[in-house]
């Protein structure tokens, strides 16, 4: 094969060698970057970073794709933030007194507006004057349409 293609490729041999070396260099840099990225991602997600870095170093893209399938769905910070949001919502729901949705100051159940920020919380019944939710079409106390 070399006897057949040798005379044809001889003038292009330096360019072919340069291309081969550049491709090898790119593959090495890509492999190191893939190992580093996998290690950092596994560390953020709490998924044994050294183990996954070794797997990706040995099996390259195949190891990386296995890691992408089995890695935890969210990072530790995201899980902690989600847990804090859930606790805050549960604490808000467990309060006896409602709060203003605009300024989060405590208000009574029958307030029509927030005394702090003047946001309209409820509307007054046209017949009996009781506090109604804004989206109610009928007063449940006196059956008057609003």
- What ranges do the domains of the chain cover? 12-94, 97-146
Backbone angles phi, psi at 107, to 5 degrees: -135, 160
The predicted model scores a pTM of 0.55
pLDDT of residue 43: 96
Question: Contact 39/53 with Cβ under 8 angstroms?
Answer: yes
Question: Contact 99/107 with Cβ under 8 angstroms?
Answer: yes
pLDDT of residue 1: 65
pLDDT of residue 95: 67
pLDDT digits (tens, 9 = 90+) for 55-107: 999 999 999 999 999 999 999 999 999 999 999 888 777 767 788 888 988 88
Distances (CA, A) of 130 to 56, 70, 116, 120: 68, 57, 21, 15
pLDDT digits (tens, 9 = 90+) for 134-146: 899 999 999 999 8
Question: Contact 107/97 with Cβ under 8 angstroms?
Answer: yes
Q: Which residue has the higher pLDDT, 114 or 98?
A: 114
Share of the chain above pLDDT 70, in %: 98
Question: Could you tell me the pLDDT band of residue 12, with boundaries at 50, 70 and 90?
Answer: confident
């Amino acid at each position: 094969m070399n006897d057949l293609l040798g005379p044809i490729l001889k003038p292009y041999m330096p360019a072919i060698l340069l291309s081969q070396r550049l491709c090898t260099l790119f593959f090495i840099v890509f492999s190191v970057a893939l190992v580093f990225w996998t290690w950092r991602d596994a560390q953020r997600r709490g998924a044994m970073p050294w183990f996954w870095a070794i797997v990706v170093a040995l099996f390259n893209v195949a190891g990386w794709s296995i890691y992408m399938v089995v890695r935890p769905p969210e990072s530790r910070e995201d899980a902690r933030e989600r847990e804090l949001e859930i606790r805050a919502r549960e604490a808000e729901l467990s309060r006896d007194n409602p709060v203003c949705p605009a300024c989060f100051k405590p208000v009574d159940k029958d307030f029509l507006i927030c005394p702090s920020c003047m946001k309209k919380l409820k509307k007054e019944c046209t017949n009996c004057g009781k506090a109604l939710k804004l989206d109610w079409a009928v007063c449940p106390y006196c059956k008057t349409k609003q």
